[in-house]
Amino acid sequence: MKRFLAPILLLTLLFPSLAYGVTMDDLVQRPHWIGLYYKKFSDVPFTGKVTGKIQGSLKNGKWDGPLLLYHANGQLQGKGTWKDGKRVGPWVKYWENGQLY
């Protein structure tokens, strides 16, 4: 069991973004008309979890999977799904008071 837990702990300590994700403040969009996201000071499109007011996953710099957006007051602003950088399926929006838009 110790042999299994030690590498996981080591990876978590060395690469905290794998465990906790990054926020939009840690990312830049280049070029702006294509919309690929990169971690600051990197030339590789970002793949991983995004946390904070925007929560979701990026794959090769494009949104992929469920996405949650939050208002400044912490209330859910919207939710939906992305696939390969494109919106798919239904999207739901909410007012700042939590009521359906």
Asked whether residue 17 is assigned to any structural domain, the reply reads no
Asked whether residue 18 is assigned to any structural domain, the reply reads no
The pLDDT of residue 8: 52
Asked whether residue 9 is assigned to any structural domain, the reply reads no
Asked whether residue 72 is assigned to any structural domain, the reply reads yes
Asked whether residue 11 is assigned to any structural domain, the reply reads no
State pTM to two decimals: 0.74
| Token output for 98 | 């939590």
Asked whether residue 40 is assigned to any structural domain, the reply reads yes
- Total domain count, the chain: 1
How confident is the model over 1-15, as pLDDT tens digits? Answer: 556 555 554 444 455
Contact 98, 75 (CB under 8 A): yes
Distance of CA 73 to the CA centre of its chain: 19
How confident is the model over 29-75, as pLDDT tens digits? Answer: 988 767 899 999 999 999 999 999 999 999 999 999 999 999 999 99
Asked whether residue 69 is assigned to any structural domain, the reply reads yes
Q: What are phi and psi of 60, to 5 degrees?
A: 55, 40
